Amino acid sequence: MSQDHSAPAVTPIALGDLSKLTVPTLPSLTTDAPKANGLWSSNPVFSYLNDVYITIGEHRKSLGLTNPGTIENLSKEVTRDVFLNQYFFSGLRADLNKAFSMAPAFQTSHTLSIGSNVLPAYAFSALYATDDYFVQGNIDNDLSFSGRINYGWDKHNISKVTLQLANGQPSMVQLEQDYQASDFSINLKTLNPSLLYGGFSGVAVGSLLQSLTPKLAVGLEAMYSKQAGPSPPESAVSYVGRYNAGNWIATAQVQAQGAFIASFWRKVSEKVEAGIETQIAASFKQVTDPLMGTPIGFEPVFEGQTTIGAKYEYRSAVFRGQLDTAGRVSAFLEKRVLPTVSLLFSGEIDHFKQTSKLGLGLQFESAGNEQLLMMQQGLIDANGNPVPGAPQL
């Protein structure tokens, strides 16, 4: 089939770039005044709306607001950086990580474990990343696969796809879209969406986080869930707040299910961080007659838990410790014994259940070429220049 080359080439328009559209659009917030000619200046009603739009934009810029991040990372300084949630393991494990290149980034990892109820006996993962997209995949000895792809259309828009195919478990696919503006963020995601059963089924979540001042941000998250079939849908709305004072951060979440979560993070010193999180959940418990055994009503039930932790960074080691009101005391230590070898230790004692867990691990890092090896050893930087204070090559 022949192609007609007489037609002018059409340049794709990037998402969010409304200035190249031929239809009348709202002016940019960075514009000092509306154009002299056009729909937004010739029509009195549109001209008034245009003036209000520009005034609001100029006022927002004068406040010096910053992007507050996403609701998903609302309390990441506590739950991901200080607490052991992302690091704790039990049994024996060994990790072999190999980096083949830095730009673009490409690396592989092999993980072996024994005596763990969570980690598989063997898992292989690979990562490839450039400035525009990020691809990661993982497969274990049971042939369970998980992967994700992130693609950045521009500096504001990122599309994400997450896929999980677990052996003996339902598969999962999640589609997500992030929009990061100068003073707010919007996130839209859907889990296992389907239109094959007479309408939408799955889970849809939308969230908005808006900065009100340079330190305070508030937002909400709405969820819609519908199972395939005649079952009615469910919906819920949660409200969040985040206050960032620089050396300390406080967050709060009020969830529609009757739960309240509050966290506080503090930068104690250059090498020490501390965090605390409190969760309170309210529910109703059915009350039965002690003689007849028939339901006679409901009573409110309140459950809560508080966790406190700290993170210490040493010259060649990182220590994390935490304890909670459920009687658990946990610790995690990562000690670099050689430039490419690290020793991992994790332990937990549950005083109420009279149980304990222990984990030991080794982590090896190797480079695909001599330059990467010298970067891992701290001899040169990413540009190949010698690091001040490092041994002479």
Q: Is the pLDDT of residue 78 over 80?
A: yes
Note the pLDDT tens digit of each residue in 305-319: 999 999 999 989 999
Is 333 inside any structural domain? yes
Lowest mean per-residue pLDDT among 17-26, 69-78, 141-150, 367-376 = 17-26
Residue 89 belongs to a domain with what CATH number? 2.40.160.10
Residues 274 and 170 in one domain: yes
Q: How far apart are CA 142 and CA 278, in angstroms?
A: 37
Q: Which residue has the higher pLDDT, 372 or 185?
A: 185
Identify the CA nearest to 194 among candidates 168, 169, 170.
Answer: 170
Q: Give the pLDDT of residue 312.
A: 96
- Positive or negative, the CA dihedral 390, 391, 392, 393 is negative
Q: Give the pLDDT of residue 375.
A: 58
Q: Give the pLDDT of residue 370.
A: 55
Q: Give the pLDDT of residue 22.
A: 39
Q: Give mean pLDDT, residues 72-81.
A: 93
Angle at 33 between CA 31 and CA 34, to 5 degrees: 95
Q: Is the pLDDT of residue 25 over 70?
A: no
Residues 43 and 158 in one domain: no
Q: Give the pLDDT of residue 383.
A: 56
Note the pLDDT tens digit of each residue in 342-356: 999 999 999 999 999
Q: Give mean pLDDT, residues 113-120.
A: 89
Identify the CA nearest to 150 among candidates 189, 118, 114.
Answer: 189
Q: Which residue has the higher pLDDT, 278 or 18?
A: 278
Note the pLDDT tens digit of each residue in 203-254: 999 999 999 999 999 999 999 998 887 888 889 999 999 999 989 999 999 9
Is 11 inside any structural domain? no
Angle at 301 between CA 84 and CA 307, to 5 degrees: 15
Please check whether residue 109 is in contact with residue 138, taking contact to mean a CB–CB distance below 8 angstroms. no
Is 392 inside any structural domain? no
Q: How far apart are CA 329 and CA 344, in angstroms?
A: 17
Q: Position of tokens 């010259």? A: 315
Q: Give mean pLDDT, residues 372-387.
A: 57
Q: Give mean pLDDT, residues 374-387.
A: 57
Residues 42 and 83 in one domain: no
Q: Give mean pLDDT, residues 361-365.
A: 93
172: which strand partners?
A: 164
- Strand ranges inside 314-340, DSSP E: 317-324, 328-338
Residues 311 and 336 in one domain: yes
Lowest mean per-residue pLDDT among 50-54, 100-104, 123-127, 294-298 = 294-298
Q: Give the pLDDT of residue 387.
A: 59
Residues 119 and 29 in one domain: no
Q: Give the pLDDT of residue 38.
A: 59
Is 391 inside any structural domain? no
Among 30-34, 147-151, 193-197, the range of highest mean pLDDT: 147-151
Residues 79 and 55 in one domain: no
Please check whether residue 219 is in contact with residue 252, taking contact to mean a CB–CB distance below 8 angstroms. no
Q: How far is CA 127 from CA 78, 103, 107, 198, 303, in A?
A: 26, 12, 5, 39, 41
Residues 270 and 161 in one domain: yes
Q: Give the pLDDT of residue 284.
A: 74
**What is the β-pairing status of strands 355-367 and 91-102?**
parallel
Is 9 inside any structural domain? no
Residues 45 and 133 in one domain: no
Note the pLDDT tens digit of each residue in 244-276: 998 999 999 998 878 999 999 999 999 999 999
Q: How far apart are CA 312 and CA 335, in angstroms?
A: 12
Q: How far apart are CA 187 and CA 221, in angstroms?
A: 9
Residues 81 and 152 in one domain: yes
Q: Is the pLDDT of residue 15 over 50?
A: no
Note the pLDDT tens digit of each residue in 81-103: 999 988 999 999 999 999 888 77
Please check whether residue 259 is in contact with residue 280, taking contact to mean a CB–CB distance below 8 angstroms. yes
> What would the two tokens of residue 378 be?
């701290």
Q: Give mean pLDDT, residues 3-28.
A: 40
Lowest mean per-residue pLDDT among 189-198, 235-244, 278-287, 368-377 = 368-377
Q: How far apart are CA 26 and CA 34, in angstroms?
A: 9
Residues 134 and 212 in one domain: yes
Domain holding 28, by residue range, is: 18-62
Q: Give the pLDDT of residue 390.
A: 52
Domain boundary residue among 62, 79, 96? Answer: 62
Q: Give the pLDDT of residue 179.
A: 95
Lowest mean per-residue pLDDT among 17-21, 124-128, 177-181, 325-329 = 17-21
Looking at the 3D structure of the chain, how many domains does it have?
A: 2
Residues 136 and 53 in one domain: no
Identify the CA nearest to 369 among candidates 97, 98, 95.
Answer: 98
Q: How far is CA 262 from CA 134, 280, 329, in A?
A: 32, 9, 21
Identify the CA nearest to 209 among candidates 265, 162, 252.
Answer: 252
